[in-house]
Structure 1
Amino acid sequence: MTQKKERHLFLGGNTYRGFHSFYSYIINKETANKVLCLKGGPGTGKSHLMKKVGAHFLDKGYSVEYHHCSSDSNSLDGVVVPDLKIALLDGTSPHMIDPIYPGAVDEIINLGIALNNDALSLNKKYLINIYKEISTNFQRAYKFLAAAKPIHEDWSKLNSKALDYSKFITICESLKEEVFIKQKSGFGDERHLFASAFTPDGIITFAEDLVSEYTNTFILRGGPGFSKSKILNELGSLAQKKGYFVEYLHDPFNPDRIEHILIPEISTSIVTENEISKSSFKGKTYNIEDFCNSSVLLSNKSEIEYDKNHFEELINKALFLISEAHRIHDDLESHYIKTLDFTILDSVYNDVIQKLEKYI
């Protein structure tokens, strides 16, 4: 496996349960050298600082992980330089991350010191109303995503009625034989993140780029109800039992489900082509419908189509509201940016680089 210099993922997601975070998996705090937790209001340059730090270490030849924000995929929630065991995190709402090992590992960087709070207080009522409007749009978006859940379940149930489990089990057994040629000792570690997310720009996925560096790719193709996540859970669990580290990439709609798994030590990815992220991969493909009773699918075709259309309608409404929240947030940021002292931000950036370069 040729390691890419850049990896792009999502730390959190806008799901049917609301905002769901995998922040605890960005870096192992017990083995990390330094984790900087960035605090400060909107527009204080947290994402900009992380991008500059990422570019700095890329230029020095290090691989960098960019963890994007699901509320604005062009912004960052975190940056990690794995070889140096260092990370920067956005510690503001909705993440609300605080140091676990203050001083020893974690340190708070307050970008709010560059703000002119007196100037902001003059627009207090207006700013508070903007915050409330952003929150209202997100809460409405989550309600539409939640409303889509039972429809998705009905769609899944209709599909699952057609699944021939006696044939279906051959997929699991075939994958086990092809993937796990050799075994390591011990029990493998795990990491949980999102490769895809509901964002203001629609459903964004980095899965195709993440998988492109893997030598072996196995694809599970099919809509909801075809037990793709069940297969991934079983294979991931088996991989860990055989001593391999597994990266679980969760479903952006339902974080209880797995969308893809990556097993870097054997350069193997097992991915899904599904109804949400609609990714397309190259590799050995298992089309789940080939293991189904086609007559059952045909008899339920109109009901399946009904569920599909209503599910997509609700998802699109949620995406519109997330986009509205982002539009309003841009207005909020503009008020904060007007009060910034950029010389202070430059000083903070230089200080951050000095702190992190100690670990080279």
Structure 2
Amino acid sequence: MMDHKGKRLDFFLAANSPVGFASYFGALDGGDPAFTTYILGGCPGCGKSTLLRRVGEALLDRGETVEFIHCASDPGSYDAVLCPGLHLGVVDGTPPHGMVPRYPALAEQFVDLYRFTDPAAIAPHREEITARLDESARLQRRSGRFLSAAASLLRDNSAVVTPCLDLPKLERYALSTAKRLLPPLDKKGRTFDRFLSHLTPSGPQPLCETAAGFGRVILLEDSYQTAAPLFLERMAKIALAAGYDVYACYSPLSPYDKLEHLVLPEADLCLVSEPRQNAYAQALPTPFRHVYSRRFTDLDALYPYRNRLSFNKKAAKELVREAARLCAEAQEAHRQAEALYALGTDRAGVDALAGLLVEKLTAR
């Protein structure tokens, strides 16, 4: 048993996005053939998030590096805890995550929490529960339409800005940065796809605690979020080739093709991007390095498009704000359904099972 606390990393594996519920749950193991996933099945409000927190904290106490995966709809709750060092993860497998075992009893093991909810106890609330869950889903879909409109405007800005970038200069800077900070490792690197920020009910919000846990942080300030993703792509490729495990964190507004942040635990390095210096700059310890996108941008060439760019940014901000409001309403509707499910849940039974699971996983 190790006598020091391990390293905690906070991420999302899913996000509300312009294409609906964008998920990396299907690739949470990073391609590790020895990985075992414990899939939790249970009703809303039965205590899955509490169980996940207990497991994660127990693994931290054991000295392991643990990923705490926050819920896409309620960042105060958890959808999973992952421990790559022990080749294991515990995951909420209920919709919308849709965790279907590929190799049952081998790569995945099912943990049944449904048996702790008494159908007879919640039957009187059936109409209200279904109404609340349907309302939550409707609001999430409507939120997605606003996000789609915002993403379209931001893509127009990228189309304007990209031809004004000095890509060779950006490439040289990435290579020189990597040479200083990423000495080659004698192993093969792996890529883990994640989200480090998310459209929360209180608006766009990064998980600053993850970045704050690193000794070296590079803050990329990029008003149009066009140069920063390209720089991060190049850094990710260099780091992977040098043998580093790369946590590639995508933008919720472009969830499968635009990097927003990069986390390199083995280098004690985190690269985060923002349109302006605000949330990260306030939360991160100093000193940390700044990289400004204007060093790669022909500002004179960009000047004729200033009104178009400004309009798109302002309109997208308003659309995202409305999407966040709808997400807050969806979250509240889901919480109301959870509270009704909890009326029929044997929490003592769930707690006992959680204790057994913690004992099993920490004995590995």
TM-score normalised over the length of structure 2: 0.88
Is 1:323 aligned with 2:328?
Answer: yes
Aligned position for 1:201: 202
Is 1:31 aligned with 2:37?
Answer: no
Report deviation, 1:18: 1.1
Distance 1:345 1:217, change over 3 A: closer
Give the AA of the match of 1:160.
T
Q: How does 1:273-312 map to 2 (within 5 A)?
A: 273-274=274-275, 279-280=280-281, 282-312=287-317
Distance 1:228 1:131, change over 3 A: same
Report deviation, 1:5: 3.1
Give the AA of the match of 1:302.
N
CA distance in 2, matches of 1:115, 1:246: 40
CA distance in 1, matches of 2:118, 2:39: 21
Aligned position for 2:132: 130
CA distance in 2, matches of 1:105, 1:292: 48
State the Cα RMSD in Å.
2.6
Aligned position for 1:56: 58
CA distance in 1, matches of 2:204, 2:277: 8
CA contact (8 A) 2:192 2:248 kept: yes
CA distance in 2, matches of 1:186, 1:87: 23
1:341 to 343, 346, 363: 346
Distance 1:299 1:356, change over 3 A: same
Distance 1:275 1:251, change over 3 A: farther
Report deviation, 1:196: 0.7
CA contact (8 A) 2:54 2:358 kept: no
Distance 1:164 1:353, change over 3 A: closer
CA distance in 2, matches of 1:325, 1:175: 43
Q: Deviations over 1:210-247 (max 9, x none)?
A: 23343443333212253321221122112222322222
Aligned position for 1:22: 24
Report deviation, 1:125: 2.8
Aligned position for 1:155: 157
CA distance in 2, matches of 1:95, 1:271: 26
Aligned residues between the structures: 355
CA distance in 2, matches of 1:240, 1:357: 30
Give the AA of the match of 1:214.
F
Q: Deviations over 1:303-338 (max 9, x none)?
A: 222111100011011111111000111110111011
Is 1:103 aligned with 2:119?
Answer: no
Report deviation, 1:159: 3.0
- Please state whether the residue corresponding to 2:233 is helix, strand or coil: helix
- Please state whether the residue corresponding to 2:280 is helix, strand or coil: coil
CA distance in 1, matches of 2:349, 2:45: 14
TM-score normalised over the length of structure 1: 0.89
2:143 to 133, 141, 145: 141
Which runs of 5 or more residues in structure 1 are unaligned?
A: none
CA distance in 2, matches of 1:83, 1:214: 19
CA distance in 2, matches of 1:241, 1:30: 20
Is 1:233 aligned with 2:233?
Answer: yes
Report deviation, 1:340: 1.3
Q: Deviations over 1:105-134 (max 9, x none)?
A: 421112111112023233333322222111
Distance 1:31 1:217, change over 3 A: same
Q: Deviations over 1:261-288 (max 9, x none)?
A: 2233333333323369953365332211
- Please state whether the residue corresponding to 1:203 is helix, strand or coil: strand
CA contact (8 A) 2:229 2:258 kept: yes
Give the AA of the match of 1:265.
E
**The 10-residue stretch of structure 1 (66-75 or 272-281) with the greater mean CA deviation from structure 2:** 272-281
Which runs of 5 or more residues in structure 2 are unaligned?
A: none
- Please state whether the residue corresponding to 2:247 is helix, strand or coil: strand
Distance 1:22 1:15, change over 3 A: same
Report deviation, 1:165: 4.2
Distance 1:146 1:276, change over 3 A: farther
CA contact (8 A) 1:72 1:199 kept: yes
2:9 to 7, 10, 17: 7
Distance 1:52 1:301, change over 3 A: same
CA contact (8 A) 1:196 1:277 kept: no
Report deviation, 1:254: 0.9
Distance 1:52 1:164, change over 3 A: closer
CA contact (8 A) 1:66 1:76 kept: yes
Distance 1:154 1:337, change over 3 A: same
Is 1:350 aligned with 2:344?
Answer: no
CA distance in 1, matches of 2:171, 2:346: 62
Aligned position for 2:211: 211
Q: Deviations over 1:35-84 (max 9, x none)?
A: 32111111011101111222333344444321101100011000124443
- Please state whether the residue corresponding to 2:224 is helix, strand or coil: coil
CA distance in 2, matches of 1:48, 1:215: 30
CA contact (8 A) 2:38 2:108 kept: yes
**The 10-residue stretch of structure 1 (216-225 or 132-141) with the greater mean CA deviation from structure 2:** 216-225
